[in-house]
Amino acid sequence: MTEQAEKTISQLELIESIENTCETLDTDTSIRDIIVRDSAGAGCADFVRSMPAAKLCHLPEWTKMVESVFGHRGHYLVAYENCTICGVLPLMQINSRLFGNRMISQPFSDYGGPLAQTPAALDALYQYAVELAFQHGCESIEFRNTSVIPHNLHLRNDKISMLLPLASEPEEVWKGLRSQIRNRIRKAEKSGITIINGQLELLDEFYRIWTIRMHQLGTPCYPKKLFRGIMETFADNSRIFLAVKDGVTIAVLFIYTFNGCVLTRWGCALREYDSIDPNYLLNWSAIEFYCRKAMTCFDFGRSTIGSGQHTFKERWGAQPIQLFWQYWTRPGSKLRLTKPDDPRYRKKVAMWQKLPLWLTRIIGPRISCNLP
């Protein structure tokens, strides 16, 4: 038998020994080391739901959904101590000729990063992620955290989320709104805007309006199959709201929920209807709906500090939650951050706005699948 074969057998025997130990150990027995595996086993979803900082994207199903929709390679790191889950870290490898080979936790979400019960579990997950990045030739790892990983990483902290506490009765939230917000909601109602909500039956109309607005902004749109994937994977958590005037959809909102929190991940209004404030009535209708569903907070989504979106959300009384996006970079590699507001992209944005809408719906998803 060759030396390499002996090593392989030895490694297999070690893995089998660990697995057998975890199956037979008494609960009073302790194992000092933390074991990390790249596999979402039984109990991962329950662990995620038990963690206060967890988001929908931390569930194993999110990773599987992104793999299915885009073909990216997913990893789901699970840390065990005494054969009990003590941490998870979902990762997605995105390899693009334009934007490089990198890992992100989590793509197509404002959030991600590790969930860990102890500093030791956090460190074990981080170290395993770095090993994976080396193995797969990745230039960087992006962790979309709400708390800082205590390692020497590049930190981007120009983004925040804006959260509004909800109540069991919508009237309690209404009383806490500024008079300016209440007046704009009434103005939209008096303009004849009505709100409807539903699920997959509204997806086509949502996507039609949303892609119009993305074209106006000069931003490549995501494919419709992303939204379909979310709604099919998380049917009990996702919903679409439409603002309609005289039979015409003028504003849309795509929402999903997790652990009592509502996240308004994608929404927009057509520019020509801004004067009648459809976004105000749209958001208020969603707030009313989810108050009655016993949700406890309304997440207006990510904003750049000081931007117009930040100001809009601040007017509602929403409070900022700092996002700590951290980046590990492979030694010798240069970190490449793609920011839509980068002055270098102004010409490209202007060019995109001049393209026919139908064309942007075809080529936009081919670009945006690598810009999650």
For residue 284, pLDDT over 80 is answered with yes
Q: What percent of the chain has pLDDT over 70?
A: 90
Contacts of 366 (CB under 8 A, 6+ apart): none
| Residue in the block written with tokens 């073909």 | 71
Residue-wise pLDDT for 139-165, tens only, equals 999 999 999 999 999 999 999 999 999
Q: Do domains 9-151 and 160-321+351-364 have the same CATH topology?
A: yes
Residues 316-345: what's their mean pLDDT?
86
Q: What is the pLDDT of residue 335?
A: 86
Q: What is the pLDDT of residue 25?
A: 33
Residues 225-249: what's their mean pLDDT?
98
For residue 302, pLDDT over 80 is answered with yes
CATH class of segment(s) 9-151 = alpha beta
Contact (Cβ atoms closer than 8 angstroms) between residue 186 and residue 282: no
Rounded Cα–Cα distance for residues 57 and 368 (Å): 18
Spell out the domain ranges in the chain: 9-151, 160-321+351-364
Residue whose C-alpha is closest to residue 114's, from 124, 320, 165: 124
Rounded Cα–Cα distance for residues 138 and 96 (Å): 11
- Write the single-letter amino acid at 22: C
Residues 229-237: what's their mean pLDDT?
98
Residue whose C-alpha is closest to residue 54's, from 131, 118, 106, 103: 106
Residues 275-304: what's their mean pLDDT?
97
For residue 247, pLDDT over 70 is answered with yes
Instruction: List C-alpha distances in Å: 126 to 24, 119, 121, 144, 270.
Output: 28, 11, 9, 13, 43
Strands 100-105 and 297-304: unpaired
More confident residue, 347 or 229: 229
Q: What is the pLDDT of residue 27?
A: 29
pTM: 0.88
Strands 297-304 and 154-156: unpaired
Locate all alpha helices (DSSP H) within the chain, ordered by sequence: 3-24, 44-50, 60-70, 119-135, 170-176, 179-190, 203-217, 224-233, 278-291, 308-315, 346-354, 357-368
Rounded Cα–Cα distance for residues 334 and 348 (Å): 23
How high does pLDDT run on average in the chain?
Answer: 90
If pLDDT is split at 50, 70 and 90, which confidence band does 341 have?
low
> What does the DSSP assignment read for 66-130?
HHHHH-PEEEEEEEEETTEEEEEEEEEEEEETTTEEEEEESTTSS--S-EESSHHHHHHHHHHHH
What are the two backbone dihedrals, phi and then psi, of residue 181, each rounded to the nearest 5 degrees? -70, -45
Rounded Cα–Cα distance for residues 196 and 231 (Å): 17
Q: What is the pLDDT of residue 347?
A: 86
Q: What is the pLDDT of residue 348?
A: 86
Least confident interval from 17-26, 162-171, 177-186, 208-217: 17-26
Residue whose C-alpha is closest to residue 203's, from 220, 219, 221, 226: 226
**Domain 160-321+351-364 architecture:** 3-Layer(aba) Sandwich (3.40)
Q: What is the pLDDT of residue 334?
A: 85
Rounded Cα–Cα distance for residues 170 and 315 (Å): 17
Encode 149-187: b = buried (16+ Cβ within 10 Å), e = exposed: beeebeebeebbbbbbebeeebeebbeebeeebeebbee
Residues 220-236: what's their mean pLDDT?
97
Residues 274-281: what's their mean pLDDT?
96
